[in-house]
A and B are shown apart, each in its own frame.
Chain A
Amino acid sequence: KDASTRYTMITNGGPLFVYVKAGRILRMTPIDFDDKDAASWTIQARGRQFTPRRQATVAPHALAMKSAVYSDKRVLYPMKRVDFDPHGERNPANRGKSAYVRISWNEALDMVAGEIQRQKRVHGPGAMTIAHGSHHQWGNVGYYLSALLRFGNLIGFTRVAANPDSWEGWYWGAMHHWGHSQRVGIAGNYGTVADCLQECEMIVFWSSDPESTNGAYMGFEGTQRRLWAKELGIEFVHIDPHFNPTAQLLGGRWIPIKPTTDPALAQAIMHVWVVEDLYDKAYVDERTTDFDAWRDHLLGKDDGVPKTPEWQAHETGVPAAVVRALARQWAGKKTYLAAGVAGSGFGGAGRGATGAQWARCMVMMMAMQGLGKPGINMGNLQAGTPVDHEFYFPGYADGGISGELQWNGNAVNNYQKMPHVITVNPVRQLIPKQQFPEAILQGKAVGYLWDGLATELQFAPFEYPAPGYSPIHMIYKYGGSFFSTLTQSRRMEEAYRHESIEFVVNQSIWMEGEAQFADLILPACTQFERFDIGEWGSGGGYLQHGFNGLNHRVVALQHQCIEPLGESKSDYEIFSLILQRLGLGAMFTEGCSELDWVKRVFDASDVARHVSWKEFCRKGYFVVPPEKPGLEPAVNFRWFAEGRVKDIAEPQPLPSQWSGEFGKGLQTPSGKFEFLPETLRRGDPDNPERPVLNRYIPAWEGPRAADTAAKFPLQMIATHSRYSFHTNVDGKNSFTNDIQDHRVRVRGHAYWVLRLNSEDAAARGIRHHDLVKVFNDRGAVICAADVSPMVAPGVVKSFEASAEYQPVEINGETVDIGGALNILTSARSQSRSTSSMAPNSCMVEVVVWNEHAVQRKAA
């Protein structure tokens, strides 16, 4: 009607219709299903029928994408740092300081290809590292686990071994009690939406804010289900230092808590259950091991300290009387425990110094209450819908076009359906991600592996550099998020400027974050400017069956909607042009354009059994029919609670990982839930920071670390940003800059928001929307204050992942006005013998900031 063409797209925030007119994006809307699309499921609960809205709901960051595409911060042509000469002076010390000049694609590609070859010849394998973020614009072809990995394998690279940042606490802790290594220590969610609506009486949200974190990629799919729960009279409790948006919407009892003290609260609740006889004794007897030792610890028989509600009160700030009331409520009602984003793991409390202690307590509590019995499970209605779990479409971690068989799910998924040329990276050298700067600055680092194949793999340390391999001298950086997602991130400045780093190339869409530290910037385009294909919300890999957070499974052609802006190119195109210069072009492409690969993925999937390629392209998306009534997945853990053979269709643990009979029991050595984990006893028996018996050890940076707390009395948590997906759609003059709970404009600059309690603000003379300096010994960030009673006293809450890193020097002090709060967090691992991050253990002070933030670049 308005001469526009309607394309389809899938983003990290959900699927979209994209209306394009005269080569420009006009608008983006959620997809409302039509009558020809597959039907929706219906759940019967308590005499009512619940059918979801026929829309693919979207997160706010999806609706702000147009502004990111047309951002004035887009990199539109290749750019070289003015004082970088690959054949002469490289001036590494000027990274992040000097300006850029535009160069041609030919010059740029020659420079990269030449440098890749030079590194190999001069330094040998491993001299180049590829560093990227954990997320990517959606898709199966262009994703970093797909095209980038294929590129990397063909040239060889030192891998940056990520810490399990999303699963922190669960991987290092909870996994030892209940297994699930292939879910990185968290549980699945099968069948829990129906069970929760039918049976549950109370949901305890513990460090869980699904209205902000959207089940990661699921838009607002869980929201309607939680509103159903409210209609049904299911009660809610929210244990969080922040009266978070989920608590705001649903109501219920908010229990404000000091960050990182949660294990103390959990132990006190368990203490009440023991002394008041409020736990499931039969379940504990039959399904768990070593409860006696844990009970004795709760009672203080081993250390003389009973873990009473009074014992925890000063620590947590939660009155003893509230703890008793909560403990009784919890035991007296059929209760779901919701930890983190989708209820069965994750959570900001896992990203503090006590993260593993907390996650361990969470699962111990459920073991005491009969995990898996009707109405007693993990979840927050964010996941576990009755969608069809067998319909095959690969998730983003299932291999794509990578040819890689080890570091993603290709070997068990996409490769088997879509054979393609296998690629192998012969460089086994790894850099632990959180020690990336030290690896460069000190030339060495030790890490512990994140590998979910088996519980035992986390115990073996690895060293950088690895014998025989070259230390890194070239960084191939993909995007620019590290200043706001890596801990103590100002370390990166020095690392980038280190003389051992001869070449930094950043393949970036926007001029933001670290892009300004590169010698050469290659302009990548957004997902709206290239072809891809994907299933909404489907991570695959460790996020197996993650699509069951959705009400309707949606597979879509991610259409190229517009031409790449300026001279930008798709990542795939850039890789193939570089590889052509190395004689590897055909090996990389197999003669395929991106659209050819898209069709190969389509053909290999079950969608091709339902609709033709032509039909799929015409409509743009396909809705997978829901599971047939009667064939819905069983409820997670019900088999375990009832002592039956496992009837959940998840291909884990592996056949060899059942200690007893195949299909019976958990992945733990005993097959039971272990209060004192055998795998810790075997693998790490004497670690005082991760004891076999999960005693409470206060955070190494927190209110109890006296000297720090005196100087920096406020606890800061910086958790996942509600209105952006990490750095995606933040900053760069995107629409989110004008969302009051995201950034606040003061004198023309959009400052990052810091929430603080009214009393703490009053004590410091801070008023709502004043500019404040948040600081500690590691640095200073200027934010806009959001003053309210919605954060616990003594706590400041903000978001991680500002896209902007803008250090400016004012009166001799360097402050960041971009909002990169990870400048302030500690790089220390949560505990010895782990590679884990603890950004939510961070002490700061906040003062009013009156200086004019003159936008002068720091020297």
Chain B
Amino acid sequence: MSILVNGSSRVVVQGMTGREGSFHTERMLAAGTKVVAGVTPGKGGETVCGLPVFDTVVEAVAATGADVSVIFVPARFAKTAVLQAAEGGVRLAVLITEGIPVRDMSELVSELGLDDGPVSERPFVLVGPNCPGVVTPGECNVGIMAATLFSPGNVGIVSRSGTLTYEIAMGLTRVGLGQSTCVGVGGDPVHGIGFLECLELFEADPMTAAIVLVGEIGGDDEERAAEYAATHLTKPVVAYIAGFTAPPGKRMGHAGAIISGSSGTATAKAAALEAAGIPVARRPDETPRLVAEALAEGGHHGAEIGR
């Protein structure tokens, strides 16, 4: 088991005929992912990487039974591509594209009701944008992550940063701690599922025994995750936060701080996580040791793992 994707996921690539799309399709195939089709409006009937290309997701799903879409289209077409994916009936879309206007994302959340109800009951789930994708090592790699850095195991990773996901997954792999699923939720202010949904999914996943949360400055997702973990999780969580020395660069005026009720600093996030009993690594390379300790101790509430 795993979350979001596994060995039986059938993947359609929106934007497969583009440079990025075809490059990463090859890589996903090489990692063993069941990529079954591509979609590019106006290019239906072509073949890329030996796979059929369709004009719409609806057609691709009807012909191939795809249930996951990964999206590589340029930013200005991204909103339409996500609407197409939802209409096409896939249960998960992973939006890799960066540089999408915030307004487009807000409109998507509102038009598709993306945040309505518990994640396990939603008919359509979006990961991203501006994210590296989702990997269930040895089974399915959806996105742009390098499959060779990961190994199968029981540590779930949810991260706002792509390269830090690599760094931490590789660190875990090197000490023999494999991963159940690694989710890069993306760094944009408005995105699909986040820490809370992934924590909920990992908690319910029998294969996952411990969770690594990789956060960074800005917003209050980490503070909310800390509160959620303290009240809803039995499995141990370990965190790493980047940005302790980041200058208060682009401030969103004063209004931003009033909205979130948090300063958004790394220090505030680490304090909230530690107050919830979640150890916070000070360097990425401290994470594997903290995970090993957490696994040895069991849940931070002393509950049984993998019940």
Determine if chain A interacts with chain B.
no
